Amino acid sequence: MAEKNTKIRQISDFGEFGLIDYLTKDIKYKNSELIKGIGDDAAVFESGDICNLITTDLLVEGIHFDLIYTPLKHLGYKAVAVNLSDIYAMNAIPKYITISIAVSNKFSVNVIEELYSGIYLACEQYGVELIGGDTSSSLSGLFINITAIGQAKKEDVVYRSGAKKNDLICVSGDLGAAYLGLQILEREKKVFLADNDVQPELDKFNYIIERFLKPEPRKDIIESLKKYKILPTSMIDISDGLSSELLHICSKSNLGCKVFEEKLPIHDQTFLTAEMFNLDPAIPVMNGGEDYELLFTIPLDKKDEIEKIPNVAIIGFMTENKDEKFLIAKNGVEIPLIAQGWNHGEVE
């Protein structure tokens, strides 16, 4: 009997989302209480009038964080924050988290206590409870896995797939800062490793560095949307760059979009730092990541209400043609959106 010829496929050929799609393409759900499985910011389970939402995220030393410039307290806070952002991105309220860590023998108990001080601070800030987890040893650094559990009324849950033609595209806060904050930290790391006596020059970049090291999930935006009775038609958090997230909404909603460069919210420090690196400021906005802002769509008739909410910008609109996905540059040129988002490192 001839041996089956199986081609070896490399993980790097797929990319993160391609690999997830490939590994889960044959999943068939049987539980009638499951409303949404893989493919959104969180899974959604029905429980009467209330839905439970569950999301999980793994952070790996050397891939997602570098302890040379990441304080352990900030890391603990960020590990919680990025998971809570996924719950908020579905218009839900986070309630509980579990934490599993794997640590090598290079870490003392004092160091782990510092990590947990950031975890507890985030829990207090956002009103969530730590209810369990696991610990293990590691042969190669620190691993942190957090699962967040949230709740919402069934009719309030927002998915990536609900956008409609002519819906307005909105984003919270400002974009591109975290990417440039990382570039500054990496630059100063190289200087430090070359000469340990050189002190890093970070004072001019406090805002963008904090945006990378200590992101804040947008609980305030979810509260404001409820206050003004605005239910987004679709929503996602911006972890992999605006282009990538827009393409997710377009794909799930089977629509196109147009966003305008002149409408992109960019902090002054982000703008000046981009110029320092000889970058068009729109590049880190569209293709950076880890801002953990909310990207969402609303019906056109909600324009007056959304303009009452601070720190929200209308940047474009959804189009019927699903092949029409463009950034409209300041000179009017239509630039096709490409998913070039955040790269946490190559998986070998």
Burial status of residue 232 (CB atoms within 10 A of its CB: 0-12, 13-18, 19 or more): buried
DSSP reduced 3-state for 196: coil
In which band, very low, low, confident or very high, does the pLDDT at 345 lie, cut at 50, 70 and 90? very low
The predicted pLDDT at position 75 comes to 98
Give all domains of the chain, ordered by start, each with its CATH number.
33-156 (3.30.1330.10), 168-336 (3.90.650.10)
Answer whether residue 250 shows pLDDT above 80: yes
Lowest mean pLDDT among 42-56, 71-85, 107-121: 42-56
Q: Is residue 213 pLDDT above 90, yes or no?
A: yes
With b for 16 or more beta-carbon neighbours within 10 A and e for fewer, the 206-216 pattern comes to ebbbebbbbbb
* Residues 81-98, mean pLDDT to the nearest whole number: 97
Q: Give me the pLDDT at residue 198, please.
A: 76
CB 69 within 8 A of CB 188: yes
11 confidence band (pLDDT: 50, 70, 90) = low
d(C-alpha 66, C-alpha 71), whole Å: 9
348: pLDDT confidence band, cut at 50, 70 and 90? Answer: very low
pLDDT of residue 83: 97
Question: Over 50: is that where the pLDDT of 65 sits?
Answer: yes
- For residue 341, pLDDT beyond 70: no
Average pLDDT over every residue of 168-174: 98
Mean pLDDT over 302-313 rounds to: 97
Average pLDDT, the chain: 90
Poorest-confidence range of 32-46, 201-215, 277-291?
A: 32-46
Q: What per-residue confidence (pLDDT) applies to 35?
A: 72
Report the predicted TM-score, pTM, of the whole model to 2 decimal places: 0.90
Going by pLDDT thresholds of 50, 70 and 90, the confidence category of residue 347 is very low
Strand 256-260: give its sheet, edge to edge. Answer: 234-237, 294-298, 168-172, 312-319, 256-260, 325-328, 334-336
Q: Give me the DSSP letters along 50-98.
A: EEEEEEEEEEEBTTTB-TTT--HHHHHHHHHHHHHHHHHTTT-EEEEEE
pLDDT at 346 > cutoff 60? no
- Name the percent of the chain lying above pLDDT 70: 87
314 is written with which tokens?
Answer: 């209308």
